[in-house]
Amino acid sequence: MQEEEFLRENGYLLSKFEEVQGQFLLLKSQLRSQKAIIEGLNYDLAQSQAEIERLKLSNKRLREQLSAQEARFNEQSILVSENFKIRNNFSKIVTDIEEKGSAENVNLKEFLSTLIEEIDICINQLSMDRE
pLDDT in tens, 87-114: 666 676 667 666 666 555 556 667 777 7
Kindly report the backbone phi and psi dihedral angles of residue 102, in degrees, each rounded to the nearest multiple of 5, phi listed first: -155, 165
Instruction: Name the average pLDDT for the chain.
Output: 80
Q: Using CA atoms, how far apart are residues 58 and 51, in angstroms rounded to an integer?
A: 10
CA dihedral 107, 109, 112, 114 (to 10 degrees): -90
Chain CA centroid to CA 92, Å: 48
pLDDT at position 84:
62
Tell me the pLDDT band of 56, cut-offs 50, 70 and 90: very high
The total number of structural domains that make up the chain: 1
Tell me the pLDDT band of 66, cut-offs 50, 70 and 90: very high
State the DSSP string of 37-92. Answer: HHHHHHHHHHHHHHHHHHHHHHHHHHHHHHHHHHHHHHHHHHHHHHHHHHHHHHHH
Q: Residue 17: give the domain boundaries.
A: 1-129
Tell me the pLDDT band of 116, cut-offs 50, 70 and 90: confident
